[in-house]
């Protein structure tokens, strides 16, 4: 498959995204003085901005790449929830599958940015499990819509939407019927099985596999991941290693794809971009080198911007064409 054909095949793919969503709020400013009240700097705010984050950023990446995202999640009946819905509508992402729970608050991550540097983050959230009634509503809607879709991405941020029963019900009903990709966190790590792609990062992998991150080698992680993959009936485990690239494992092989990273400004949201592009590659059955190299490239591109941003399809395409590691898909 040529690079052009790959990018054309993405267009119009219908993708369900299930996961925790949040409002990413940014205050951009400057520091010129310290507070007389405490030994801390004062940030003079120049600009404020809100963006959709979490699973919503995965949906935004799918849309940016040419797919059609269907986002399933839950927000609170509050001011920030209204802002979140308005932003979804402005990005032409359907709000039909967003449940509003008056007993929850919309997750907000407030970031303070000075000279492109992330100096502080304040989280305002409710991480209790979603009520059983709302869980059942979401599961029923996901299963119904899945009959018309190509791919399911589960994006777990440990904010309460996903738990063992929710995950088991979704996978039990949809395994072998739709391509399933998962970006996990530690709490639900061991509940994901019978899936096509499992994409933890290095920290999540070491916690999930019970390994010491300070002493573990890439080779050892690969071997442990391979045993885990076979035991849990996972087709591919893809471990993101930050500036060290990607480790990918299947039943027969363990491969490490490195990356030349430069001009890294902010890693926020890079995992959302990587799970989006990697899932599309799995669905389209690209080669493993293509999957990992284009995922590395996509992650690197978004890390060159401040804050959570989706990938630009045209920028990814143009840089992929110039990349000697990315040839046939």
Q: Is 77 noted as a catalytic residue in this protein? A: no
Do 206 and 214 form a contact (C-beta atoms < 8 A)? no
Distance CA 57, CA 68 (A): 13
Taking the chain, what is the end-to-end CA distance rounded to the nearest angstrom? 5
Distance CA 40, CA 194 (A): 50
List, in sequence order, the alpha helices (H) in the chain.
3-10, 55-64, 79-90, 132-146, 164-174, 202-208, 218-231, 270-283, 288-302, 313-322
Distance CA 302, CA 314 (A): 13
Of residues 199, 206, 167, the one with CA closest to residue 182: 199
The separation between CA 314 and the C-alpha centre of its own chain, rounded to angstroms, equals: 20
Out of 24, 101, 196, 272, the active site residue is 272
Do 119 and 30 form a contact (C-beta atoms < 8 A)? no
Distance CA 250, CA 292 (A): 13
Query: HSE of 5 in the Cβ direction (CA atoms, 13 Å)?
Result: 8
Q: Catalytic amino acids?
A: 272
């Amino acid at each position: 498959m040529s690079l052009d054909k790959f990018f054309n095949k993405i267009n119009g793919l219908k993708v369900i995204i299930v996961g925790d969503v949040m409002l990413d709020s940014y205050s951009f400013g400057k520091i010129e003085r310290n507070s007389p009240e405490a030994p801390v700097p004062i940030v003079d705010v120049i600009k404020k901005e809100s963006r959709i984050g979490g699973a919503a950023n995965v949906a935004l990446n799918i849309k940016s790449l040419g797919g059609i995202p269907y986002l399933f999640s839950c927000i609170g009946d509050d001011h920030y929830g209204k802002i979140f819905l308005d932003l979804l509508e402005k990005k032409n992402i359907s709000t039909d599958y967003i449940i509003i729970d008056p007993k929850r608050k919309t997750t907000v991550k407030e970031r303070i940015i000075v000279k492109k540097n992330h100096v502080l983050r304040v989280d305002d959230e409710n991480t209790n499990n979603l009520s059983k009634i709302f869980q059942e509503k979401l599961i029923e809607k996901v299963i119904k819509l899945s009959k018309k879709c190509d791919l399911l991405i589960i994006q777990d941020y440990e904010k309460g939407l996903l738990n063992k029963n929710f995950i088991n019900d979704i996978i039990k009903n949809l395994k072998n019927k739709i391509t399933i990709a998962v970006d996990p966190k530690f709490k639900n790590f061991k509940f994901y099985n019978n899936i096509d792609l499992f994409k933890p990062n290095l920290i999540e992998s070491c916690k999930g596999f019970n390994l010491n991150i300070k002493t573990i080698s890439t080779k050892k992680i690969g071997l442990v991941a391979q045993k885990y993959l076979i035991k849990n009936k996972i087709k591919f485990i893809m471990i993101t290693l930050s500036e060290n690239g990607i480790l990918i494992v299947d039943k027969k092989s363990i491969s490490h794809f490195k990356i030349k990273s430069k001009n890294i400004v902010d890693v926020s949201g890079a995992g959302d971009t990587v799970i989006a592009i990697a899932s599309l590659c799995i669905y389209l059955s690209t080669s493993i080198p293509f999957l990992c190299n284009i995922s590395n490239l996509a992650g690197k591109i978004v890390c060159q911007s401040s804050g959570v941003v989706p990938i630009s399809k045209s920028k990814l395409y143009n840089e992929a064409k110039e990349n000697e590691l990315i040839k046939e898909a």
